Each structure stands twice: as C-alpha cells, then as structure tokens.
C-alpha cells in the first residue's frame, strides 16, 4: 500500500509484498547454486577432454554460477528493502521498484542460458565427451526443468497481479475528478461482470443471471474503487482489525466495570423470556431450526456425517423412480432418486405424508423450500433453504436496497433487492400450487409458521409481509438473519411476529453493504495506525489463528502518536491519507450516507433478536465444575449488529448445526438444573 507502479502502470501488489516470495526464491536459488557448484567441481575439468561442445559446457556452468549468484544478491536486496517501514511508509521502500526492474531484466540472460542448458541436456549430439557423470547430467536436466517452471510461475504471477484498471488513463483526472471516478467505476463494473460471465457460465443461463451479475459487479467496483488497496493490504487490515477490536473490547470492559450501562446477559432463561410472548421460547426455536436445516436436503446430511452420510440417506432414496416407479406429485425439481427429499426426511424426522410440498429449484433469486405439516406444534411450516450454492451467493450479493411494497408497510420501505426477488418467487409458487389454502383447509386448527436460516431467514421475513394480510396470526422463526434486510421502521414492525436467534460473533448477522463499507474504512484507518511492516503482521496473524492475540500485541502494534491517552486507536487520522484519491477522500470517510454509500438506505435485521454468547467461566467454576451454564443471552437491538467484526468464530457461529447444538445445550443445562433443585 499503495499499489506498486511499474512500467508506467499500477499492479495489484505493493512494494512490501515481496518478502515471502523473495525468501522462497532465495532458498531455491541457493540450493541450485550449491548443486551447480558440485557439478563444476566434479565435471568441469573433464570438459577439456570433450571432442565436441566443451567450450559450450564450460560457458554454461560458469554463466549459471555467476547468474545464480547475481540473482541471489538482487533477491536479498529486494527482500531487505521490501521489509522496511510500516505499510504506509512508502519512502522506506523507494528502491524496491528499481531493484524489481533489475530482477526482471535478469530474466533475459536466464532464459538464454536455459535454452543452452536445454540443448545440452536433451540434444545428445551437441556435446560429445569421453566422461559425462550421471550426477552432472541429472542436475542439469533438473535445473533446466526447474528454470522453465519458475519462468512459467513468473508469468502466472504477473497475470495474477495485473490490474486491468492500472493504465494511467484511468487515474488521470479528465474533465473533473468525478468524471475520472465515473470512468473507473464503469470500467471496473464491466471487468467484474465479464469475469462473472466467464467463471460462472452456468449461472449466466438463469433468467435473472444477467441482472445479478450487473448488481454484484457494481457493488464490488464501488467498494474499493476510490482506494489504492491491494489484496494483501485487505488481509493485513483484517488482522489489524482483530487486534484493534480486541483492544477496544478490553477498554469497554474496563469502562463497564465502573458504570451500570453494560448490556446485561443472563444465564436465567426464565428471566430473559419473562418479557417475551409465550411462542418465543427456545424449545420452539430448536424445533423449527431443525426444520430449517431439513430444507438444505442431502448436502447438509453429507456435511454433518462426512463418512456415513450416504448410508443415512440410503433408506429414503427412491432410485427406482428412474425405472417407472411413481414419483412424488408435490416434489418439484428434485433428481430422479429424490436425494433432496431423502435429506429433508432424514433431518426433519417427519413422515413422508406430512411433507405437503417441496420445491428444490435453485436459480438466481429462486430458493428451494418445503411445506410441512408439523403435528408436534400444530402448525403448517414453510421452511426456506439458506445459502449453499453459487447461485445463492449471487442472490446474497445483490445487496442494494430496493423499494419493498406489502400491505401494512410504510410507503418508503426499502429492503435487500435479492431477497425481495426470492420472497416474490416463493409467494408466486405458493399461490400457483395453492398449497397453503389446501393445507390449512385440511388442518383448520393449525397455525402458519415461516422459518429459515441465513438467506432463508431473510426471505422468510419478507415473505411474511406478503402473506400476513391473509394469515394475520403467522409467526416467523429466523436464525442468523442477515443484517442488511429492511429499513428501520419496517424492521420494528417485525418485532411482533418474527423471533430471530443469533449466536456469538456470527458475521452474516452483521453483514450488509453498510457494514462492508465501514470495514473498508476501518481497514484503511488501521493500516495507517499500524507501526509494523506487513510481513510481521501476516506472521502475527498466523500465530493469532493458532494461539490467540497476546496482550502485549494490543499495545505494541500501533504507533505511539496514534494512541490517545484512553488507549484506543483514533477513528480518523488528522493527516491526509495518500492511498485515497484526493477527490474522494472526504466522501470515503464521510458519515453522510448519500455521499459515500453504494446503497443510500441503511438496512437492519428483522424481528426481536435473541443474542446468545459463550459465557466466560470464572476460575472457581472451572475448578469446581459446578455445572455453571456455558451460555448466556439477552434481547438485542438491531443497531447492535451494524459493525462487521473480525473474530475467530465469525464463520462457525453462523453454521446451523452449531446454533442447534447451542440451543440443545442450553435446554439440557436448564433441565439438569431443574432436576438438581427438585
């Protein structure tokens, strides 16, 4: 950071990205230099007895030793200068481009020598000597192959760091700064869209594939178009954010110890749910989460039981239907063996006749779902599948806000565009099949429940608005609902009929366009505040993943002038940020949504949110093993999930099986505690 300028253009690499590649190449070059020296010692004197090609062999051996020595010296200088200074201290690495150019120009004599070596190793008539050791020929053959492979890797590396927007014409201010920015944005959108069409050609055939490509390309282009970040900067920034957030958490704990404003978590389930409607309880949540998981079908069974998943599905698979066996009449777009249906039956533990309808069609904006007659809770349940395919990812990433209309909503309500399309699709399928009317006519005393996990939870919340006018008593059980779902007033309306359960550091519950843009700004700020070189940050990140963040790193990572007396890194730097285009720096760091936001409306998660976290046990609890609860919970507000945190369990806390295990553990602990009291 900033991106490296070479040959008059910008590349997707920085001057401090060459430490680890340089060390790797130095190790290989030293090994080959030692082997070539061994060939010189063993074979060089015998070349004077060659009847043909002796001078040629001597020139190759001497030339290769000299070239390898020179390359090693250049690499040492390159690594030394690349390791200097912090990420933003470019002046400390001002010689890196010049050294890198020298390294690249050395490829020319290396290729020439390698051609000579190839001719010697593989052309038998070029060199005729009375003695030619097996060791020497083997080393030269291996060296030739290695050099060609290394040359291929160099070409591949250049292709990987090639920036299509690196040309000077995309960085020159043309008529106005906004015109140049607009040109880069349009070009960036076009490049991302072309990549998607090439990489995901099977998605391109979907009815809404083109629209999804356009929306996602525009989002990715907008997020980083005004920055000078390279991929390694983003990785280093995420590591630094983890350290910064842990530091801030420690400071907040100190503050809360002196005040009564700390959000109160409790292990007492009865106390927590005393202010909630009766239908909002953990028993129901666990039950409907299982049905939400069932909507994932056979892939989730294979994930949960990697070794035995196939055998668990075997009893419910109906492969005989391929040869004339009657098919299910209310199952749409399953394969001929009904593998998805087998997964639904296995996970839900529901009888086949109680699965009233199932659609497994999975295209962009079109999600699989099941309609189940749940006799245990006397409800007709619509379980909507979450993200599991690339098509679902494109639905997730079509994250711009769009107008959402339904009876009872404020006229200016906005929602996640991809999930609006998903809710409209399921509402249309339910209406075409008439399944809800038929099901509730068959079970007139049953209620209606919508449930889903992740993407399925967001779509279930929006679908509820669509069908609620006809079924006013419906309930929604949502798990790990995405943050960028609904505008604030509409999200408040859902608190009466949506029960949302979130676990720990789940990143999806904090994931939205707004939080991603905050993450971008946070990365830039932490990179400027860091005092460490990038290679140290990446090494530390590897250690953090294995052993956690040590307390000393909370203090030593930041520049002294960046740390105010409170001990926290500042949110904004007083000096100018050279990695952000001057014309867009104010817009990037502005809090005005209309200035710096891709999506003009901030979106929130829906429902009344129960947030469950792991309880940190005291030393006494750990020593005595007195059965203290492992988890605690509280009712959280939608505003609590606006910041995307970089935490070790941010992905694991999102997985449905982990949420289910936590709910099961809490209920089991409660049952054990009641038994002890009795």
Reported as type and span, the H/E element at residue 14 is strand 9-14
Kindly state the average pLDDT of the residues 164-183.
54
According to DSSP, residue 351 is labeled -
**% of the chain surpassing 90 pLDDT:** 41
Kindly state the average pLDDT of the residues 95-106.
92
Tokens, residue 84: 């200097």
Per-residue pLDDT tens over the stretch 252-305 = 767 665 555 556 888 889 899 999 999 999 999 999 999 999 999 999 999 999
| Residue 657 known to be catalytic | no
Contact by Cβ (8 Å): 348, 372: yes
Q: How confident is the model at residue 622 (pLDDT cuts 50, 70, 90)?
A: low
d(C-alpha 367, C-alpha 369), whole Å: 6
3-state secondary structure 125-194: CCCECCCCCHHHHHHHHHHHHHHHHHHHHHHHHHHHCECCCCCHHHCCCCCCHHHHHHHHHHHHHHHHHH
Q: Which of 209-218, 413-422, 436-445 has the lowest mean pLDDT?
A: 209-218
d(C-alpha 532, C-alpha 405), whole Å: 50
Sign (positive or negative) of CA dihedral 370, 373, 376, 377:
positive
Q: Which of 158-162, 387-391, 398-402 has the lowest mean pLDDT?
A: 158-162
Q: Return the higher-pLDDT residue of 639 and 220.
A: 639
For the ranges 77-86, 229-238, 644-653, 669-678, the one whose mean pLDDT is highest: 77-86
Residue count (the chain): 678
Could you give the angle at the alpha carbon of 588 between the alpha carbons of 582 and 591, nearest 5°?
A: 135
- pLDDT number for residue 672: 76
Half-sphere exposure for 574 (CA within 13 Å, toward CB): 4
Kindly state the average pLDDT of the residues 111-132.
76
d(C-alpha 43, C-alpha 132), whole Å: 7
Q: Return the higher-pLDDT residue of 202 and 659.
A: 659
Tokens, residue 375: 């006799």
Give the phi and the psi of residue 483 in degrees, each rounded to 5: -70, -45
How many other CB atoms are there within 10 angstroms of residue 89's CB atom? 13
Q: How confident is the model at residue 588 (pLDDT cuts 50, 70, 90)?
A: very low
Q: Are strands 355-359 and 369-374 parallel, antiparallel or unpaired?
A: antiparallel
d(C-alpha 456, C-alpha 289), whole Å: 11
SS3 425: helix
d(C-alpha 453, C-alpha 72), whole Å: 54
Burial level of 614, CB count in 10 A (0-12/13-18/19+)? middle
Most distant pair of Cα atoms in the chain: their distance = 103
Q: Return the higher-pLDDT residue of 373 and 203.
A: 373
Is the per-residue pLDDT at 323 higher than 50?
no
Tokens, residue 256: 């809360």
Angle of helix 390-397 relative to helix 209-224, nearest 10 degrees, comes to 60
Q: How confident is the model at residue 215 (pLDDT cuts 50, 70, 90)?
A: confident
Tokens, residue 314: 């075997």
CA 200 → CA 40, 205, 212, 400, 584, distances in Å?
52, 10, 12, 21, 33
Is the per-residue pLDDT at 73 higher than 70?
yes
The contacts of residue 554 (CB under 8 Å, 6+ apart) are 243, 246, 247, 250
Identified catalytic residue from 454, 487, 530, 629: 454
Per-residue pLDDT tens over the stretch 504-528 = 999 999 988 888 888 888 888 888 8
Nearest to 569 by CA among 526, 515, 523: 526
Nearest to 605 by CA among 403, 410, 458, 506: 458
Written as one string, the DSSP assignment of 54-103 is: HHHHHHHHHHHHHHHHHHHHHHHHHHHHHTSS-TT-GGGGTTHHHHHHHH
- pLDDT number for residue 515: 85
Separation of CA 315 from chain center: 36
d(C-alpha 35, C-alpha 130), whole Å: 22
Tokens, residue 462: 């929006």
Contact by Cβ (8 Å): 603, 483: yes
Identified catalytic residue from 16, 228, 506, 514: 506
Q: Are strands 401-403 and 414-416 parallel, antiparallel or unpaired?
A: antiparallel
Q: Return the higher-pLDDT residue of 209 and 528.
A: 528
Kindly state the average pLDDT of the residues 184-190.
71
Contact by Cβ (8 Å): 564, 574: no
Contact by Cβ (8 Å): 233, 524: no
Q: Return the higher-pLDDT residue of 474 and 200.
A: 474
Nearest to 612 by CA among 472, 479, 516: 479
**This prediction's pTM:** 0.81
Q: How confident is the model at residue 190 (pLDDT cuts 50, 70, 90)?
A: confident
SS3 256: helix
Burial level of 359, CB count in 10 A (0-12/13-18/19+)? buried
The rounded mean pLDDT for the chain is: 82
Written as one string, the DSSP assignment of 297-311 is: -HHHHHHHTTTTHHH
Tokens, residue 234: 């983003």
Tokens, residue 165: 């927007």
Per-residue pLDDT tens over the stretch 451-468 = 999 999 999 999 999 999
Is the per-residue pLDDT at 416 higher than 90?
yes
Residue 475, strand partner residues: 449
| Residue 439 known to be catalytic | no
Tokens, residue 365: 């904006």
Is the per-residue pLDDT at 578 higher than 70?
no
Per-residue pLDDT tens over the stretch 482-507 = 998 999 999 999 999 999 999 999 99
Contact by Cβ (8 Å): 120, 127: yes
d(C-alpha 678, C-alpha 668), whole Å: 15
SS3 426: helix
Q: How confident is the model at residue 182 (pLDDT cuts 50, 70, 90)?
A: low
- pLDDT number for residue 46: 72
Nearest to 1 by CA among 206, 229, 314: 229
């Amino acid at each position: 950071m900033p991106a490296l300028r070479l040959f008059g253009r910008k590349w997707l690499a920085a001057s401090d990205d060459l430490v680890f590649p340089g060390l790797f190449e130095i190790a290989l070059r030293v090994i080959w230099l030692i082997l070539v020296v061994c060939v010189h010692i063993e074979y060089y004197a015998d070349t004077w007895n060659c009847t043909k090609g002796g001078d040629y062999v001597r020139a190759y051996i001497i030339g290769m030793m000299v070239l390898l020595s020179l390359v090693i010296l250049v690499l040492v200088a390159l690594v030394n200068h690349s390791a200097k200074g912090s990420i933003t201290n470019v002046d400390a690495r001002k010689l890196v481009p010049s050294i890198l150019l020298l390294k690249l120009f050395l490829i020319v004599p290396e290729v020439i020598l390698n051609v000579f070596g190839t001719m010697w190793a593989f052309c038998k008539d070029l060199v005729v000597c009375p003695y030619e050791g097996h060791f020497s020929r083997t080393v030269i053959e291996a060296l030739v192959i290695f050099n060609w492979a290394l040359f291929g890797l160099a070409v591949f590396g250049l292709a990987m760091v090639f920036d299509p927007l690196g040309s000077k014409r995309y960085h020159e201010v043309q008529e106005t700064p906004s015109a140049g920015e607009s040109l880069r944005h349009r070009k960036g959108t076009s490049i991302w869209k072309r990549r998607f069409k090439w990489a995901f050609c099977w998605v391109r055939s979907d009815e809404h594939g083109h629209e999804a490509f356009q929306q996602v390309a525009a989002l990715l282009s907008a997020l980083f178009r005004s920055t000078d970040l390279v991929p390694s900067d983003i990785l280093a920034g995420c590591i630094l954010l983890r350290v910064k957030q842990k530091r801030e958490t420690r400071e907040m704990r100190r503050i809360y110890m002196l005040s009564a404003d700390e959000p109160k978590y409790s292990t007492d389930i009865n106390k927590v749910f005393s202010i909630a409607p009766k239908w909002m309880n953990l028993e129901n949540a666990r039950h409907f989460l299982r049905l939400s998981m069932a909507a994932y079908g056979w892939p989730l069974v294979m994930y949960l039981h990697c070794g035995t998943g196939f055998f668990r599905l075997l009893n419910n698979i109906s492969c005989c239907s391929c040869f004339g066996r009657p098919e299910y009449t209310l199952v749409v777009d399953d394969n001929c063996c009904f593998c998805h249906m087998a997964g639904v039956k296995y996970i839900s533990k529901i009888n086949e006749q109680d699965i009233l309808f199932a659609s497994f069609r999975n295209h962009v904006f079109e999600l699989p779902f099941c309609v189940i007659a749940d006799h245990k809770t006397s409800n007709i349940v619509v379980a909507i599948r979450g993200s599991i395919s690339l098509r679902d990812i494109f639905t997730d990433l079509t994250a711009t806000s769009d107008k959402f209309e339904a009876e009872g909503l404020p006229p200016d309500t906005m929602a996640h565009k991809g999930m609006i399309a998903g809710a409209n699709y399921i509402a249309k399928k339910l209406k075409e099949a008439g399944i809800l009317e038929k099901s509730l006519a068959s079970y007139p005393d049953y209620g209606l429940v919508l449930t889903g996990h992740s993407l399925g939870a967001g779509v279930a919340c929006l679908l509820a608005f669509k069908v609620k006018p006809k079924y006013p008593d419906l309930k929604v059980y949502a798990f790990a609902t995405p943050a960028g779902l609904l505008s604030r007033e509409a999200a408040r309306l859902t608190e009466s009929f949506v029960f949302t359960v979130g676990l720990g550091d789940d990143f999806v519950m904090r994931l939205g366009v707004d939080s991603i843009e905050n993450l971008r700004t946070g990365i830039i700020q932490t990179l400027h505040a860091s005092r460490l070189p990038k290679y140290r940050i990446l090494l530390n990140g590897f250690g953090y993943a294995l052993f956690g963040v040590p307390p000393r790193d909370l203090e030593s990572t930041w520049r002294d002038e960046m740390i105010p007396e409170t001990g926290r890194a500042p949110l904004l730097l007083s000096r100018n940020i050279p990695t952000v285009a001057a014309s867009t720096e104010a817009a990037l760091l502005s809090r005005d949504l209309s200035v710096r936001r891709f999506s003009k409306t901030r979106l929130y998660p829906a429902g009344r949110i129960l947030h469950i976290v792991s309880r940190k046990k005291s030393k006494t609890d750990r020593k005595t093993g007195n059965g203290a609860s492992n988890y605690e919970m509280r009712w959280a507000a939608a505003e609590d999930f606006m910041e995307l945190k970089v935490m070790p369990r941010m992905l694991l806390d999102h997985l449905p099986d982990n949420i289910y295990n936590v709910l099961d553990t809490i209920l089991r602990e409660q049952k054990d505690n009641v038994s002890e009291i009795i």
